[in-house]
Amino acid sequence: MNNKILIIDRETDVLQILETLLTTKGYQVKTATSGEEAIDFIKSEIFHLVIMDIRMPDVDGLEFIRQLKNLDDEIEVIVLTGFVSIENAVRALRDNGAVDFIPKPLENIDQLIISIEKALRERSIHQEVKALVKELKLPSKEMSLRIKKIVDKLSRADDQVMSRSIEHKHAGESNGNHRE
């Protein structure tokens, strides 16, 4: 598995437990205890998924999700937090694009694993759709270039026909074949 996960939490014991669990599941894992540290990682590496708390010492977690999405719109985010409220869940999921909102303490580890698999599947689907759209646009770009070349060619041919027509007209006038 080549999926890279960044876990952001101010609690180092949570980071260690999740890192051990996800590493044994075959994921490449990095951990950060602050938003600033996480941003540095994201600017230097590609991560497929971020699992994060919304309470961080240096940044508002909900705003941080927006920052992540601005840096990499394909990155998926799972919020894992003890700061649970309906408002936070709605803001994280609907307004900021998180794929799941899971309360701490995590009572069912399978819930997290299922959420991770779902998030990575969604990322994969988004990438496939992007690739297909790009593929569909390519032929239309090629077709547009072909049409432009044909139009340019026809325009030049039209100019040549007009020039010859004018030449014939002037040649006929100078030969005395001018009719009145």
In a domain, 143, yes or no: no
Q: Tell me the CATH number at 18.
A: 3.40.50.2300
Q: How far apart are CA 180 and CA 137, in angstroms?
A: 57
- What's the pLDDT score for residue 180? 47
80 alpha carbon, distance to own chain's centre? 23
DSSP 60: B
- Report pLDDT digits (tens) over 91-121: 778 777 788 888 888 888 899 999 999 999 9
* Overall size of the chain counted in residues: 180
In a domain, 175, yes or no: no
In a domain, 177, yes or no: no
List the one residue out of 51, 111, 102, 67 whose CA is nearest residue 81: 102
Residue 40 belongs to domain spanning:
4-133
Enter the tokens of residue 174: 């100078």
Residue where the block lists tokens 């270039």: 145
Q: How far apart are CA 53 and CA 106, in angstroms?
A: 12
Q: How far apart are CA 91 and CA 96, in angstroms?
A: 6
How many domains is the chain partitioned into structurally?
A: 1
Facing residues of 100 across strands? 78
The answer to whether 6 touches 47, Cβ cutoff 8 Å, is yes
- What's the pLDDT score for residue 15? 94
In a domain, 40, yes or no: yes
Q: How far apart are CA 178 and CA 180, in angstroms?
A: 7
- Report pLDDT digits (tens) over 21-32: 999 999 999 999
- What's the pLDDT score for residue 138? 65
In a domain, 101, yes or no: yes
- What's the pLDDT score for residue 33? 94
Three-state secondary structure call for residue 49: strand
- What's the pLDDT score for residue 172? 60
In a domain, 168, yes or no: no
Flag residues of the chain having pLDDT under 70: 1, 138-139, 165, 167-180
Q: How many helices (H) and strands (E) does the chain have?
A: 5, 5
